[in-house]
Amino acid sequence: MLYPPDVQIREATADDWAEIHPFFASTVEAGETYAYPDGLTSVEARALWMPGAPDRCVVAVGDDGTVLGSAKYGPNRPARGSHVGTASFMVSPASRGRGVGRALGEHVVDALRAEGYAAIQFNAVVETNTAAVRLWQALGFTVIGTVPEAFEHRTQGRVGLHVMHRAL
């Protein structure tokens, strides 16, 4: 993994939530990329983003220790579907365009491979989130289908959700 020199990725701690929550809340409120409900309390949001085992949560931090972004990952489905992983990613607005999302994506691909997963499936990549679609394609994911009008985009109305996949 070749991260930007000022980015380190580590397991998230409970103390990191204070820095994750502001960009989690602003990302959800924007209504462009996540189907989480509006108006989540910090406690409700944390339960979604940092639910605990079997899921894992990591943060990308700068040289000064500031949280730049976060990812959560784990099995896509329980039991007979648990050999396929899934993940979600958020980068703080101030850190976008610096390679933080790519670093988190590479980390998660490597971590899921090391943990023995056979593949990764993203269940709901908003088709208008072109930066994310390009990044995942650059990291070897393919769009295997699109559910038409499955996401209520805040400004564009109903748009499709891509299902993306990558074998490990």
147-159 pLDDT per residue, tens = 999 999 999 999 9
Specify which residues 88 forms β-bridges with: 72
Total domain count, the chain: 1
Q: What's the whole-number average pLDDT of the chain?
A: 96
Domain presence at residue 1: no
Q: In angstroms, what CA-CA distances link 22 with 41, 77, 94, 163? A: 11, 28, 12, 27
Q: What is the pLDDT of residues 59-106, one digit of tens each?
A: 999 999 999 999 999 999 999 999 999 999 999 999 999 999 999 999
Q: What pLDDT is recorded for position 56?
A: 98
Asked, for residue 68, whether it belongs to a domain, the answer is yes
Is 122 a member of any domain? yes
Phi, then psi, of 165 in degrees rounded to 5? -145, 150
User: Which residue do the tokens 């996540």 mark?
Assistant: 34
**pLDDT 10s digits, 27-65:** 999 999 999 999 999 999 999 999 999 999 999 999 999
Q: Is residue 27 part of a domain?
A: yes
At residue 5, the pLDDT reads: 72
Residue 3 lies in a domain: no
Q: What is the pLDDT of residues 132-142, one digit of tens each?
A: 999 999 999 99
Query: Per DSSP, what are the bridge partners of residue 56?
Result: 73
Q: How far apart are CA 90 and CA 68, in angstroms?
A: 9
Report yes or no on 157 lying in a domain.
Answer: yes
Segment 119-145 shows an average pLDDT of 97
Q: In sequence order, what are the residues at sequence separation of 6 or more whose Cβ sits closer than 8 angstroms to the Cβ of residue 36? A: 28, 45, 48
Domain annotation covers residue 20: yes
Determine phi and psi for 78, rounding to 5 degrees. Answer: -80, 170
What's the pLDDT at 2? Answer: 53
State which residues form the domain around 148: 8-167
Residue 2 resides in a domain: no
Do you find a cis peptide bond into 75, omega within 30 degrees of 0?
no
pLDDT at res. 1:
53
Q: What is the CATH number of the domain that holds 93?
A: 3.40.630.30
Q: Rounded to whole angstroms, how far apart are CA atoms 103 and 101?
A: 5
